[in-house]
Amino acid sequence: MKKQRHVSLDRLVRRKHQLIRAITDLTKYGINILTINCGHDMPLIEVANSGGIDRLKAEDAGQGHNLYGYYQRKTTQLHGCQIVWQEYIN
């Protein structure tokens, strides 16, 4: 039988405050938020590649392709949240 993992109330409150700070800064930068996932140890926010994205210091997280072409996956951390997005390569 798999043991269920319970998250403490303090940890949930801390995550909520991390998300609020990160979302506030991203919207100030003019970055559109696509998805938010709190199922990881660190909250994951996926954003669109928009004008303010160059304010974030990014690291390469991989490459891939889809219907729209080849892309470079970028990642960074902001207020304890992991921010990810895709930059398309011509």
Residues 48-77 pLDDT 10s:
988 888 888 889 989 998 888 899 999 999
Going by C-alpha positions, the residue among 39, 49, 42 that lies closest to residue 22 is 42
**Any bridge partners for residue 59, and if so which?**
75
Q: Provide the whole-model pTM.
A: 0.82
How far apart, in whole angstroms, are the C-alpha atoms of residue 49 and residue 51?
7
Residues 27-36 pLDDT 10s:
999 999 999 9
* Residue 83 DSSP code: E
